[in-house]
Structure 1
């Protein structure tokens, strides 16, 4: 079996399934759709949306290429599977020379009765790996200040 147990279950249940990497047909309401309060920020022509990754890391899609084409070197990272997808992306981004901030309260992780708390495990690794680990409020404050300084 190529995938781990959680990834195999995601494929079996069609969690986050899309009809194809280059289409958004069936995307709305699929489970991979954007939360309504974020849609205006994501659908803004500046945000990079890459094809879904396979397994855990971004190595099977093209975020590194998309980021480099835009001259982006600093990444704000968050997501659902803290100890799997988010950490794999963090490691790959770091290996590729990006500066990465992880947003701890915009990241979630699984809790399992025998395997433990994936979120807490990830937070420990983030502290060792990421350039910074911050709360959403801190990111919003910095981003707001940056926007205000460019408006003047």
Structure 2
């Protein structure tokens, strides 16, 4: 991958599905990702990325999955396997703790929150592309969950829409090592412009802008 730079005014961090069910002890899906999440240091890396992009004055965008509600998917002609699993276990249920933001990654006042996506792409049937274009965003750094489903689908769709796409190897997790390998070694190189570690992304970010008081 070529060396990447991230223009401050044109870059956004896309944080996909930062729900308690995915990222918190006691979450419905967390036990399935915990081994790999712990191995790659997912939570600490997401915290580091979140802090670094905010310090660099880069836009943060929350890209949330549909919060399950009674009746979701039940009368659909062909819900996909993930939607069937959500229908069974009620992942990210609206109004329940599992469907609330992980406290470390809840939206802050300057953040954008896209419409909830029904499938695996944060762009399909949502306003995400519109929000990014209104901010003049051209570069997206995609992190969150899961590496081989919502991250891959969102990032691949971003490429199709003309964005510069960065995947972060240790800023995501999956259910198996094989899924992680496929996401970053097999599929990612066919569409992502950069596939980096958290440390490499942070090193490539622009320096924190000087405050007016510092300039004085």
Q: What TM-score comes out, normalization by structure 2 length?
A: 0.56
What is the aligned length? 133
Segments of 5+ residues of structure 2 without an aligned counterpart are: 1-76
Task: Tell me the residue number matched to 2:196.
Answer: 134
Measure, in 2, the Cα distance between the counterparts of 1:38 and 1:141: 21
Task: Tell me the residue number matched to 1:88.
Answer: 153
Task: Tell me the residue number matched to 1:30.
Answer: 98
Deviations 1:64-117 (A, max 9, x none): 111011111110001211111111111111111101111110111122xxxx82
| Other structure's SS at 2:124 match | helix
Cα pair distance change 1:62/1:78, threshold 3 Å: same
TM-aligned CA deviation for residue 142 of structure 1: 2.7
**Contact 1:82–1:108, Cα closer than 8 Å, also in 2:** yes
After superposition, where does 1:17-96 map in structure 2 within 5 Å? 17-18=93-94, 26=95, 29-34=97-102, 36-39=103-106, 42-45=107-110, 47-57=111-121, 58-96=123-161
**Contact 1:3–1:55, Cα closer than 8 Å, also in 2:** no
Cα pair distance change 1:102/1:3, threshold 3 Å: same
After superposition, where does 1:101-120 map in structure 2 within 5 Å? 101-111=166-176, 117-120=178-181
Report the RMSD for the aligned CA atoms in angstroms.
Answer: 2.0
Measure, in 2, the Cα distance between the counterparts of 1:101 and 1:37: 22
Deviations 1:32-61 (A, max 9, x none): 413x3334xx3131x221122111112121
Segments of 5+ residues of structure 1 without an aligned counterpart are: 19-25
Measure, in 2, the Cα distance between the counterparts of 1:118 and 1:87: 11
Cα pair distance change 1:14/1:48, threshold 3 Å: same
| Other structure's SS at 1:127 match | helix
Task: Tell me the residue number matched to 1:122.
Answer: 183
Paired residue for 2:90, among 3, 8, 14? 14
Q: More relative contact order in 1 or in 2 (CA 8 Å, sep 6+)? A: 2
| Other structure's SS at 1:59 match | coil
